[in-house]
Structure 1
Amino acid sequence: MDSLIDSTNHISSSINEMVEYRALKGHIHSVGFQPDECLIPFLELVGFGSAALIRTFNLRYNLISALVEQWRPKTHTFHLPCRECTITLEDVALQLELPIDGSTVTGVSLISRPARLCYDLLGRLPSEGNFQTLKFSWPKANFEYLPSTATELEVMQAARTYIMHLIGGVLMPDTHGSEVHLMWMPHTVAVVGSLSDAILGIH
């Protein structure tokens, strides 16, 4: 097992002495807009209420850099003076209140007839693109606000879009950081499919 890095050469020494040092730079992934108020009860019912509260925030890149230097690839853990630790799926579930029991969920690498799938599940199509991904600006432009006369189907389509954006754009984003892949869309059907009963129960 690797030992802890010598504290005299650690990045935290530079931080404490307030001198120039090498710091990692990161990219903050966020949905970029809040869900329409009429979606909140339904997002809560399907377990995405807390995840929908994720907002953009500032990161302390110097502290992140110091933490990364304690990461050990061989054990996939952080080696800290207090103990060895890592982030677990349970930690994420406790913070976001997302269910983690059940079958494993994975994306698919290829979707046949993506334009048809997009229209069937979301009710509309982007004006440009290859329909394998959606730009982050598209859900905001089309689903940020819903009319007071929105039907149950329109509410479900907006909920599917927001959940897909949360999964592919915030919880498990790719390296591009500006698009969400449609591979997450089929999984929203099972999640949001129960919204019809939920809507009837609320009304």
Structure 2
Amino acid sequence: VQELCRAGYQAVVMDAPSHGQSPGRFLSVPDYIRCAGQLIRSRAHWHAVLAHSMGSLAGVISASEQAGKVRIGKFVLMSTFSNCDALMSKFARCLGVSETVLSDTRAWIPKYTGKPLSYFCLIEHLQQLGPPNTLLVADEKDIVVPHQETKAILNALPHVKPIITSGLGHNLRCDTVRRQVLNFITP
């Protein structure tokens, strides 16, 4: 954020409910999409949208829902899942959630959202956007987002420019990555 501001850009940072400093105890992907949509709708044009992890999935779907009303020049997607089902499956395994509960959750999502689980797919929504100028940053040893998620995105979307690291994990904190992202965003 500081580097973008020094380069003359205005950075708008979203702290999703139940993340970072925001209050709350629960945040679903559909709720995250609604929050991101409110922010995206606040301007007619965004030079770039940078998002991390679940925020990338929510940000792309929100942008797709605003297509034609809001223009986004570039996306930087970091450590992200290709779809909500993959995200749910990973976290269910990490938390020890049974397959029965996961199956019931999959069946409940359309009732909760009015949309099938397949709607919550980063790949499909990014394709619908045009395809926008997109950078995908991922670490092949990320223990949160399996590397096959990165491969699925890159295989489905050959226009996406990858930065693949090794050993940075889910947070991707590194001066080299920061410079590469800034070079992508700034002309």
Please state which band the TM-score falls in when normalised by the shorter chain.
under 0.3
Q: Is the radius of gyration larger for structure 1 or structure 2? A: 1
Higher relative contact order (CA 8 A, sep 6+): 1
Higher strand share: 2
- TM-score norm. by structure 1 comes to 0.23
- TM-score norm. by structure 2 comes to 0.24
